[in-house]
């Protein structure tokens, strides 16, 4: 299942892609090996464009993509070894789930069609629903049947664009298990997501994209640690902001405090978990009532921005 | 290739526009029946030529093929399912060719049968003329399918392109200007029908011979199928 080990599965070399003056991907270079690799970034970061360039669906404006050592664009024979699940949920909804997977199997030129289709449908656990029209499926079921169609030809490389979108927690857990199992069999799997927690238990390596550029690469733990280490800004409403500010300044986890014009306390901390523990204790000791505690820079964009630039928003 | 052919035929035949097409292709046959029940001084040959040249070849055939030809790829471009075909280990012509054939099967065959039946009814069952009409229309349908399938893939406003081609180029210009008739699928179609049965369409002013019609239709089919394949190789699939 794995490639021959002589070369990485995917080599992206200085790839840029722009549309009418708008840069979607800017000078991205990366290498993908067997296992699960996540392409992470906020919406509009260029993940889908990069995945589409890797799959050969779109041409690069600059740079090259090689899969198993071969250029992918204009090389349809390579699709025997690639399964690509697009971000769009559209399917031929007049087909049943089984017919849809079978169509993909036929177009792949698979010999033992019935066995391949049965195996793929079983993998996503949709045997009972396989004879229903796709238009009757829930969003999550459709995602799973699309995954079945993507892996029906047993490809060593899977490119999955937001595969967990639209799934409920149970379906998400199941899909994560399926993806992990497929990777354990030696496949190379690239998963895109805009949700860090989504790839938490899934990816061995993460490539972080922000504004079309590759902002960071590494394993999940390293990026998670960077995330935990970033300064965190919290707004606190209390019955006595000045006294609480003085009390918090004595805590090691607090980097700075300030009181804004409306009298809200703003606390900057490098250790969110420690602040969460110490704040109630300090307030209780000083007899101050906490009215509201709100993170000010916890948006996804803020997190990605921090990881990309190393400075808090 | 049969998988894409079947898929496309189901897509095209399953759409609501198939009812419009059925209504359109019924018109020539109804006209043939009317010819026999209504009083008229027009000869059957003249009426059959008028129905073939004006109603079918100038209106129904290009319109039906415009609807189905532009939809052959157009549906998949708009609902973003084209990737299911292009991400497969298939030469691009193995995607383009069945799309073309499906358009002819779903759109061209009903029009050809309609023409065949209409002429048979008008000319009291004269088989030769009816068969020539059906065969000529079918070849014309293939030529229209080739150009409109390409347009559906390559042009943002394929329907407008098709309407301009059919109603301005073919109906208004090529119908009257001899010098550009060799660029009109309608003229190829009519020339072929007359070439297959010498007694048909002799009341119409046709300047192209059967050979020119056959070569013209073949060139359109080959060139636009090749352009479709080329576009499929280069297109950014949505």
ipTM computed for the complex: 0.87
**Average pLDDT across chain A, whole number:** 88
Identify the band that residue A234 occupies on the pLDDT scale cut at 50, 70 and 90: confident
Burial zone of A20 (CB within 10 Å; 0-12 exposed, 13-18 middle, 19+ buried): exposed
pLDDT tens per residue across span B1-26: 799 999 999 999 987 888 899 999 99
Q: Which residues of A touch B11 (CB under 8 A)?
A: 92, 94
Distance from CA of A57 to the nearest CA of B (A): 5
What are the CA-CA distances from residue B100 to residues A182, B11, B110 (Å)? 38, 13, 15
Burial zone of B185 (CB within 10 Å; 0-12 exposed, 13-18 middle, 19+ buried): buried
CB A239 within 8 A of CB A278: no
Q: Which residues of B touch A80 (CB under 8 A)?
A: 89
Number of compact structural domains in chain B: 1
Tell whether the model's pLDDT for residue A309 goes beyond 50. Answer: yes
Within 10 A of B30 (CB to CB), how many other CB atoms are there?
Answer: 12
pLDDT tens per residue across span A154-205: 999 999 999 988 888 888 888 899 999 999 999 999 999 988 777 777 888 9
- Chain B residue closest in CA terms to A105: B88
Most confident of A142-151, A172-181, A258-267: A142-151
Cβ–Cβ contact A21 with B under 8 A: no
Q: Which domains does chain A have, with CATH numbers?
A: 10-223 (3.40.50.300), 230-309 (3.30.70.100)
- Chain B residue closest in CA terms to A59: B236
Q: Structure pTM?
A: 0.82
Tell whether the model's pLDDT for residue A226 goes beyond 70. Answer: no
Task: Give pLDDT, residue B201.
Answer: 80
Sign of the dihedral through C-alpha A149, B79, B88, A176 = negative
Domain containing B97 equals: 2-234
Please list, in sequence order, all residues whose beta carbon lies within 8 angstroms of the beta carbon of residue B211, skipping any fewer than 6 positions away: B195
Judged by CB atoms closer than 8 Å, whether chains meet at A104 and B89 is answered as: no
Please list, in sequence order, all residues whose beta carbon lies within 8 angstroms of the beta carbon of residue A65, skipping any fewer than 6 positions away: A10, A11, A12, A13, A15, A53, A54, A56, A71, A72, A73
**Euclidean distance between CA atoms A54 and A149, whole angstroms:** 19
Closest C-alpha among A56, A84, A96, A100 to residue A151 = A84
Identify the band that residue A312 occupies on the pLDDT scale cut at 50, 70 and 90: very low
In this complex, the residue of B10, B89, B90 whose CB is nearest that of residue A94 is B10
Q: Which residues of B touch A84 (CB under 8 A)?
A: 83, 87
């Amino acid at each position: 299942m794995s490639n021959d080990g002589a070369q990485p599965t995917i080599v992206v070399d200085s790839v840029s892609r722009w549309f009418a003056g708008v840069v979607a991907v800017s000078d991205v270079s990366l290498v993908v090996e067997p296992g699960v690799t996540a392409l992470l970034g906020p919406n509009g970061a260029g993940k889908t464009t990069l995945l589409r360039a890797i799959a050969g669906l779109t041409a690069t404006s600059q740079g090259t993509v090689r899969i198993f050592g071969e250029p992918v664009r204009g090389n349809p024979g390579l699709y025997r070894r690639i399964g690509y699940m697009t971000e769009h949920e559209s399917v031929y909804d007049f087909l049943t789930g089984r017919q849809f997977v079978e169509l993909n199997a036929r177009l792949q030129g698979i010999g033992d069609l019935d066995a391949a289709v049965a195996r793929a449908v079983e993998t996503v656990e949709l045997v009972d629903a396989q004879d229903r029209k796709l238009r009757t499926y829930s969003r999550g079921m459709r995602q799973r049947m699309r995954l079945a169609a993507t892996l029906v030809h047993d490809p060593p490389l899977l490119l999955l664009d937001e595969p967990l979108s639209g799934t409920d927690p149970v379906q998400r857990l199941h899909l994560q298990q399926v993806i992990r199992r497929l990777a354990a069999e030696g496949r190379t799997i690239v998963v895109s997501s805009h949700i860090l927690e989504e790839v938490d238990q899934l990816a061995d390596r993460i490539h972080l994209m922000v504004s079309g550029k590759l902002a960071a690469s590494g394993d999940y733990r390293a990026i998670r640690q960077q995330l935990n280490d970033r300064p965190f800004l919290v707004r606190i409403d209390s019955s006595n902001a000045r006294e609480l500010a003085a009390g918090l300044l004595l805590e090691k986890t607090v980097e700075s405090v300030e009181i804004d014009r409306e009298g809200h306390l703003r606390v900057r901390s490098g250790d969110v978990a420690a602040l969460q523990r110490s704040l109630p204790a300090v307030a209780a000791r000083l007899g101050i009532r906490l009215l509201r505690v709100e993170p000010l820079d916890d948006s996804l964009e803020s997190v990605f921005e921090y990881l990309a630039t190393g400075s808090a928003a | 290739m049969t998988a894409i052919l079947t898929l496309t035929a189901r897509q095209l035949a399953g759409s609501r526009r198939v009812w419009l097409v059925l209504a359109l292709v019924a018109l020539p046959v109804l006209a043939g029946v009317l010819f026999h029940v209504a009083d008229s001084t027009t000869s059957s040959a003249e009426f059959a030529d008028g129905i073939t040249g004006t109603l079918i070849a100038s209106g129904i055939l290009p319109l039906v093929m415009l609807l189905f030809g532009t939809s052959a790829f157009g549906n998949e471009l708009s609902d973003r399912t084209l990737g299911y075909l292009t991400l497969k280990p298939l030469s691009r012509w193995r995607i383009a060719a069945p799309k073309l054939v499906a358009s002819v099967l779903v759109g061209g065959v009903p029009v050809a049968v309609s023409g065949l039946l209409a002429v048979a009814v008008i000319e009291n069952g004269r088989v030769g003329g009816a068969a020539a009409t059906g065969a000529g229309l079918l070849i014309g349908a293939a030529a229209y399918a080739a150009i409109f399938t390409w347009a559906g893939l390559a042009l943002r406003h394929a329907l407008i392109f098709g309407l301009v081609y059919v109603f301005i180029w073919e109906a208004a210009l090529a119908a009257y200007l001899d010098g550009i008739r060799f660029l009109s699928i309608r003229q190829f179609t009519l020339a072929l029908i007359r070439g297959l049965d010498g007694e048909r369409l002799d009341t119409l002013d046709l300047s192209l011979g059967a050979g020119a019609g056959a070569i013209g239709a073949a060139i359109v089919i080959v060139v636009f199928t090749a352009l479709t394949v080329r576009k499929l190789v280069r297109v950014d699939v949505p």
